Every structure is written in C-alpha cells, then in structure tokens.
Structure 1
Amino acid sequence: MRISELERNNKAAMTAHVIEVAVMLIFCLLQVMSKQRNIVLFIFDILLGAGPVIAEFIFWKRNHETAMIKHLVAVGFALYYSYTLFTCSNNLVFAFVIPMIVMVTIFNDSKYSIEINTGTVILSIITAVAGSRNGLFGYEGADDAILQVIIMILVAAFSIYSAKISHANSKQVIDDAVKAKNDAEELLKKVETLSAAMHDGIKDIYGDLEHLNEATKSTKDSMAQLSSGATETADAVQKQTQQTEEIQNKVAVVTQATGSIADSMKHTVEVLGQGREDIEILVSQVEQSVTNGADVADKLKELSGYVEKMHEIVDMISSIANQTSMLALNASIEAARAGEAGRGFAVVASQVTAMAGQTKNATVSITELISNVSASIQSVVDVIHQMLNGINQEKASASNASASFGSIEDNTHIIQTNVDSLVQGIKELKNANDQIVDSIQTISAISEEVSAHANQTADAEEKNATVIDNMDSKMHKLILYITQGNKKIK
C-alpha cells in the first residue's frame, strides 16, 4: 500500500523522537545511578520526555497525515531538551539536539527549521554565558562555552541552508515531475490522436480494400462477359457497317431535297418581299382615301350648315311676305273706305298683294328645293360615312395583311435559316457518317484486341483478388491491435 509523503515524514519524526528520548532517559538514568542526578529530576525527565511521545501516538492513531505530529515533535522535544540542558551537570548534553535538527529537515519546511535552530542557538548562548560566568551546567571555562555556541551556530546555519537547498531541490523535482507529467499527457494525447487517426485511416483503407475486392470481382466478371461478347460485337459492327451505308444513301437523297427546298425558299422570300411592298402602297392609298373622305364629310357638314341658314332666310322672307299681304289687305280696306280718292292707293295695294303672293309661292318653292338639297346632302353624308367605315375596315384589313405579310416574311426567313442549317447539318451528318464508318472499322480491330486482352486481365484480376484478400486480413488484425492499444492508453 502506497503512503503519502506527510505520513512517511510523521512516522520518521516520531521514530527519531522516541529513540532520542530513550537515549536521553538512559543517559539521565546513568547519572541517577552515579549520584549525579536525583530521582525527582529523573521523574520529570520521564514525564517531559514521554508525554509528547504519547500525545504524538494518540494523534497518529486518529490520522496518519495530521500536521500536529510535526509541532508535537518540535515543541515536546524542545521542552524536554531545555529541561535537560538546564538540569544536567554535563555540558555535552547540548549535542542531543543535533540529531533532531537533522531529522526535522525531512519536513522540507524552511520556516520550521529556522524556528527550531533559532531556539537551539538561543538556549546554547544562554547556557554558555551562564555556565562560563558561574561554572554551572558543567562548564569548566569559557572555551567550552564558546565552542558549544560556535558548534550550534554552524549546525543551525548548515541545517537551515540544507533545508533551503532541499526545498529548492524538491521544488525543482516537483516542477520537473509536473512538466514531465504535462509532457507525458501531451504526448499521450498526441499518441492517442495519432492512434485514432491511424485507426480511422486503416479502417478507411480496410473499407477501400473491401470496395477494391468487390471491384476486382466485378472486373473479373466483366472481363469474362467482355471476352464472350467480343464476337457478338464484331457481328454487330458488321451489321452497323451495312446500316451506315444505307444511311449514307439516304443522306444523299435528303441533301438533294434540301437543296431544292432552299432554292424554293429563296424565290418565296423574293415574292413575299414584292407582295409586302404592294401591300404597303395599298395601305398608303387607303389612308389617303380615308383622309379625303373625311375632308368631303367636313365640307358636306359645312354645306348642310349653309342650307340651314338658307331655311332661316326663306322663313324670314315668308314671314315678310305674310306681313306684306296683311298690310296690303289693310290698305285695300282703307282705300275702299276712302272711295274715289283711295282708288289709286287700292291699285297699288292690289299690286303689292299680288307680289306678296308671288313671293310666298316662290318661298314655298325655294323651301322645297332647299329641303330636297338638304335631304340629298344628308344622304351623301350618310353614304360618305358608310364609305369611310368601309375604307377604315379596308385600312384595318390592309394593315393586318401587311402585318401578316411581314410575319410570313419573317417566318420565311427563319425557315430559310433553318433550311440552311439543315443543309449544313446534313453535310455534317454525311461527314460524321463517314467518320462512323472509319470508327466502326477501328472498333472492329479494337474488339479483337480487347477480346485477346480480356483473358489476360481476368487472370491478373484473379491474382489481385488473392493479394487483396491477404491485405484485408492483415488490415483487420492491425485495426484490432490499434483498438486494443487505444483502450490500454485510456
């Protein structure tokens, strides 16, 4: 079972602490036995030495990775060491702390090491100063005290320096390990990606090989069919040659017919062009007739207006004649009353009456003539309107005929173009048919070669099929190997 670094350090520190306390208790017991130390001090030795060790084991039972063990080792041993240092009569007791100073460096804690070494140096200075002055703690002179202080300072300095170096080395090892771990993970990812790509690529190749195997089998079958069909192809080529010759004869007939059609279309185009010009002249003349008819209608309308005015004048003359007759009648009556004196006036009145009657008769005749003229003019106007309607219809018909001639001419041009294209196409068809004849002869020769090579290809495909089957089996094994490798990596 793998244990953590802290658990391993706690166990090592506890073991060292137990050994150190046991050695110091044995030393103190020997002093008690030699009467250099009394039993009461030894009892305190046991309590101060064993107490922290017991506490450490209690915390160890609860949790092997507790940080309290590190502090119990430092504080517990410091108390027991200080007590022993100040109560022993041998000045070499200070040396008991050196193994523990070395041992605590395993925690790789610079601050922890500095605190412990600072305490040991201070204790050494205190005991050295007090012992050199008063002769206590077993010091016989200042040299022993100075030597103790120098030794402890060197031990503290080297211990602190070693702790820092160890910490730096550990940090570097950890950083290198982390970097190596990251590099390994990156490499593992790349290997996994490459493996997946290889798996996919080989799988694709495996699939392609299957397709190739199927294609090889299909090619083999096709070659067999091709070999058996080569003879049929030769017969078909012979028949095709005969049919091509018949097509050639028919193409010649069609060429002659299309030439005649082309000549007829040219003549038709010329006739249509002349007809279109005649229709355009007719349309122009009809338009002129429409214009002239409209002018005549306008003049007749103007003449009808004059006739209406003549009616008004005749009515006025008739009214004047009626009034003149009435005046003449009144004058005759007055002349009759006047007797002999009015006889001359009566003669004049009778003459005026006669003239008024003649005028009235004349106005009646004129009225009849004007009515007849007006009726004739109206008849002429109606006839002209009918003529204009007919001319307009003729104009529309002529326009439609002109448009039809134009459309016919355009379509005739299109037909002529198509006929020209047909003639050109027939020429190309003749050339293509000639090429087909040459190609058929070439195909006949190639068919014989294909028939010969088909058998060779079938044999080669048989060998290829065997090779592909072997590759297929090896690829399948390689895919299984890569798949198992990917599972192990994951």
Structure 2
Amino acid sequence: MSSGKKEYNREKSANQFVLMIMTVIDTFLFAGYINDYRQGNIGFQFMLSVVLTVVVTLGTSYAVFFRKKDTEKFKYVSVAGYMAVYALAVFGAKNDLVFVMVFPLTVIYILYYNYKVILGIALAFGAINMADLVYVVAILKHMHSGKEWDTASMLLQGASVLVYLAVLCGTTKLSNKNNDLRIASLNEEKEKSAGLLRDVLEVVSVVRQNSAQAEEYIQILGQNIASASSALGDISEGNSHNTENIGKQTVMTGNIQNMILETKQMSDEMLELSKQSANAVREGQNFAENLQRQSEKTREANGQVADSVTSLIQNAKAVEEITEQIFSISSQTNLLALNASIESARAGEAGRGFAVVADEIRTLADETRKLTEMIQNIVTELRQNAGTAKATVDNVLDVTHEERKLIRSTMQQFTSIGEKMDGLNWDVQEIYGKIEEILTSNQAIVDSINQISAVSQEVFASTQQAVELGEDTNQQAQQVRECMEELKRTVDSVGRYAAE
C-alpha cells in the first residue's frame, strides 16, 4: 500500500511539472509567432496554424491532467503535442536555431523513469530533425533564415541533436539500472532485518515469562513495605499532634512577640518623631529670633533711609533757593549789560570796546540763566522723587512694625509648642521603658517554648525519617514495578510484529 502511494505521488508530481514547463514554452511560442506576424516575418496562415496547434495540444494536455492527475496517458498525450508543435515550428521557421527547442522539450521526460518512452521520444525527434535537414538541402536549397545553406551548420544541427538524444537514452537506461540495483539491495537488507526480528522475538518471549515472575515478587515486597509504613505512620501521627500543639503555642507566642516588637517599633518611631518635632520647634524659635533681629536691623536701616531722604529734601530746597538767587542776579546782570551796551553805543567810537565787553557779559548772563533753569528743573524732579521715596520708606516702616508684632506672636506660640513637646517626649520615653520590660519577659517565655519545641522536633524528625525511608523503599518498589510493566508493554509491542 505504501509503495503504491509513493508511485502515485511520483507520477502526479512528474505530470504537474511537465505541464508547467509545457505552459511556459507554449506561452513564449504563442507570443513569439504573433510578434513575428506583426513584424511581417511570417504569413497569417502559418501564424494561425502554429497558434491553433499550440492551443489545441496544450488544452488537450490540461484536460487529460485534470481528469486524472496521476494518469500514465498524460506523458503520451503531452509528448505527441510537443512533436506536432516542434515539427511545425522547425519546418516553417525563419530562424536557423529553432531546432534547439528539442532540448528543454525532451529532457523533462526523464522524470518518468521509462526507457521505452525516452527511446520513442529520441527516435521521433531525431526523425523530425533528419527530415528537416533533407528538406533544407533537397527542397529549400537554403537555410530557414534565407541564407545559403552551410554544411557546417547542418552537420552541427544533426550531430548535436543525435548526440543529445543518444545521451538522453543512455542516461535514462543507466539511471533505471542503478535504481533496479538499489531496489535489489534494499530487498536484501529487508530479508536480513526479518531474520534479526525473528531472533529478537524469541528473546522477547523469554523476557516476558521472567518479567511476570518478577512482578509477582515486587507486589509481595510492596505489600510488606506498605504495612511497615502504616505502623510508622501511626507513630509519626501521634508525634505530629504533639509537635503541632507546641507549634501552635510557638506561633501564638511568636505573634505576641511580633506585636510587642511592632509596638516597640512604633514607640521608637514616636520617640524619634518627638525628638524631630522638638528639634523643629527649636529651629523655628531660632529662626523667629533671627527674623526678629533681622527685622530690627531692617527697621533701623529704613529709619536711616528716611532721615537721608528728609535731609535730601531739605538740601534740595536750599539748592532751589540758591538757584533762584542766581537766576535773579543773572537777570539783573543781563539788564545792566543791556543798559551798558546802549550807553556805549551813544558814546560812539570811544565806547565801542566797552560795548563788546557788555555784550559778552550779557551772553554769559543768558547762559547762566539757562543753566539755572536746568538746575531748577532737576532739583524739582529730585524733590518729587525724594517725596515718593519718603512715602515708600514710611510704608515700609509701618509694615516692619506689623511684622515685628507677628514675629513676637510666633515666638510665643513656638515657646508654648516647645513646652508641650517636652511633656510628650517624657510620656513617650515612659512608654518605651515599659515596652522594653514586656519584651524581656516575653522573650524568656519564647526561649522556654523553643526548647520544648526543639526536643519535640527531634522526636518527630526521627519518626518521620523512618516513615520516609519506608516510603522511599515503597516508591522504589513501585518504580521497579513500573519498569517491569514498561518492559512487559515493550515485549508485547515487539510481539505484535510476530503476529503481523
């Protein structure tokens, strides 16, 4: 059944591959001849005959293949179609190399491992090529391409095709012979394997008998071990109850110990938090004191600034009065210089020099008046800015005064908090001391229970070890029994080959 299935698969695969190659080659032929017709290289009737032959032969091959994919008829139908297309292409070609189509068309049929088919293909395609050579020499009297026929080219075509077909036949025959030798060798190995299997089956029969006796002995041993393990289990169970009770007491004492430790840890945290709070209060008091000192310095500095601004305003007033006097003097000087200039003009040539001096004095008086006006403007702006600065400093002094009040209130609150934190710290230290005493007493109880538990654990461990030894022995016996059962199943499996 298996051999037939392999033959079926091989035939189907070969048919499928040949059909695929046929489709590719016929597609190129179809497109090539249509292109030659468009270019005017061949006539319409020849192109139509080639196209119809390609379509009919390829369609027939597809129909045979899909009717039954592993049919032996396919190779005969496909090669017949190839021969028709090849003969038509060779005799009607306008190219001298069309004969090379024989190579891809025929080599794929080696897949069928059928020497008779290959021999028939070689004879048929060889005859087509020989007929083509006779046709060229005797009828056309020139090459297919229109050139004068060349003896060397003709011999090359005939020799290459005949040698190729001869090699194809020889290769197929030799390949089939090698396959036959390989099959004969496989059959010989099969006979040797059959003899070896008979010897193995005889050994299996003996092993089956011995394994049955061994399994009975192992079952008896397992029953004895189970009885001993049961007795040890009762003893171990009694010790286990005692150990369990002691364990519960140990757990309860441990829980108490853990709760005490947690309480101690919380008291440690409370003590630490109390210390941190006290430190924070002291830092706050120090900060408030520093802030108060800084506020006092700020108040004094603002007072000095206020005094300086007041002095600046007074000095600005004095400068303003002086500039007013200078402005008045410059105006009088300008008036006197104008009068002197008028008088010198009346004096004529004698008063000309004095007139020049009077003009210079008047010019200087005008410049002095302008500078005095500029100074007055600057002093006025300075007084305004000084007034604004004084108002700002007064506001700062008021804010500083309020700030000092708040700082004094904050210091009083910090002092009250510090006193309360000192009392809280004392209470926490008292709680911490009591917890230390409880922890010491409970630790003594834990140590006593641990000693009792240790002794009980030793007794339980000894009994448990004996139980485990019994269980291990029982498990080993069970494993041996499983191995024997596995051996028996293996022997039975081998025995099925004898039945077959």
Q: TM-score range by the shorter chain?
A: 0.3 to 0.5
TM-score (norm 2): 0.43
Largest Rg, 1 or 2 = 1
TM-score (norm 1): 0.44
